[in-house]
Amino acid sequence: MTTKKFIPYAHHSIDAEDIKQVNDVLTSGVITRGPYVESFENGIAEYCGARYAVAFNNGSSALQAAYYAAEITKYDTLITSPNTFAATATMAIRSGGPSPTFVDIDETTGNIDLDALAEKLMIPSSRGKNIVVPVHFAGLPVDMERLGNMPLSPDDIIIEDGSHALGSSYEKNGPLVGSCVYSDMTVFSFHPAKTITTGEGGMVTTNNEAMAQRLRLFRNNGIVRDCPDSPGPWYHEVVDATGNYNMTDISAALGVSQLKKIDLFIKKRRKITSWYHEDLEGVKNLSFLEIPQENTVSPHLFVVKIDFEACKTTRKAVMERLHDEGIGSQVLYIPLYQQPYFKNILGDISTDFPNMERYYSQTLALPLHCNIERSDVSRISSTIKKILNAN
């Protein structure tokens, strides 16, 4: 067992200014439903270039709110990638929507295969609308301009799962993920593994006023306060059964502080990925996801693909060796259709997704966060080389 410091695969970056901002809220007398939530919402909307941003207590509830705002029903068709966190699909079901229709991925990027998606959209929805949810895996945006030109009906809705991609742009000097120039809504997560964090938190951006109103309605127990003919300031009406998904001012204050540093965070993450490429380029049986050369991606993960069979080892053995050397790693993601919940609904459909199956058999995420220095990447890379060449 190594005595070297442990390098986790993901970690938040908190400084004295973040702590001061949170302490200011704690001593202000208002710790929830106060001014910091609106300030954070305005900051995200301005940063992304969207008209509206609505904050939530976590990314999963933000996804559920987006499906609620889309007025999803069991008659709709939910189309998404199997290479994503469970909430992308489960929150649609919790909102009264259908079981997901998965589309295979492009294994060179980890994103949804747009050719396969186009074929899927050629099949008309029998009763309801299509709700298409592209996932910007690891921070690399899906080609949204191409997706937007696919055969969609006026009733169809596009919700971007941008949980990995705050700060990414669709093209060099182009609009950012979250601007909703190609979609109806974009969902973000502020989990500690993400580029900026609020501890737990989520956000939905949109340019649609009606959707923004439904997002707020969902967040606040289905309560409407601006009622016509109100008898007084205490009056409100419950118009739907939703829940309480409010972000606290404590979380929002951290978000406000973190957002000020996002450009520095992205710059550091890009530098770390470039160090990995310098060190691991040309390593036998190891390859990278395809990332544009231009600085358009806000990297959330650094994923390598390893032919474990050719290396005469297993992923489990590699991860255990890395851990013994003080290095964290992770697998993202297990195909959603393989998870017991979805398998019980959809059956065993693994053979329909050859790209996802091949990708899953080889994927491994290495540490990527702003606490990593050049010496850490050198240590991680040399350890990877030693492990893969030892068999």
State the pLDDT at residue 125.
Answer: 73
HSE-up of 161 (CA within 13 Å, CB side)? 30
User: Look-up: residue for tokens 């996002």?
Assistant: 262
Distance of alpha carbon 261 from alpha carbon 157, whole angstroms = 33
Q: Where are the domains of the chain?
A: 16-259, 262-389
Distance of alpha carbon 220 from alpha carbon 218, whole angstroms = 6
Q: Is 7 helix (H, G, I), strand (E, B) or coil?
A: strand
What fold, for 16-259?
Aspartate Aminotransferase; domain 2 (3.40.640)
Helix, strand and coil content of the chain, in percent to the nearest 5, comes to 40, 15, 45
Both tokens assigned to 184: 């109806």
Question: Which among 39, 71, 58 is positioned nearest to 203, based on CA atoms?
Answer: 58
What are the angstrom distances between the C-alpha of 221 and each of 241, 245, 302, 370?
6, 8, 39, 37
Asked if 129 contacts 120 with a C-beta cutoff of 8 angstroms, the reply is no
* CATH hierarchy code of domain 262-389: 3.90.1150.10
Asked if 116 contacts 107 with a C-beta cutoff of 8 angstroms, the reply is no
Task: Check for a shared fold between 16-259 and 262-389.
Answer: no
State the pLDDT at residue 114.
Answer: 98
Per-residue pLDDT of the chain in tens (391 residues, 90 and over written 9):
567 899 999 999 999 999 999 999 999 999 999 999 999 999 999 999 999 999 999 999 999 999 999 999 999 999 999 999 999 999 999 999 999 999 999 999 999 999 999 999 998 877 899 999 999 999 999 999 999 999 899 999 999 999 999 999 999 999 999 999 999 999 999 999 999 999 999 999 999 999 999 999 999 999 999 898 899 999 999 999 999 999 999 999 999 999 999 999 999 999 999 999 999 999 999 999 998 877 899 999 999 999 999 999 999 999 999 999 999 999 999 999 999 999 999 999 999 999 999 999 999 999 999 999 999 999 999 999 999 986 5
pTM score of the predicted model: 0.97
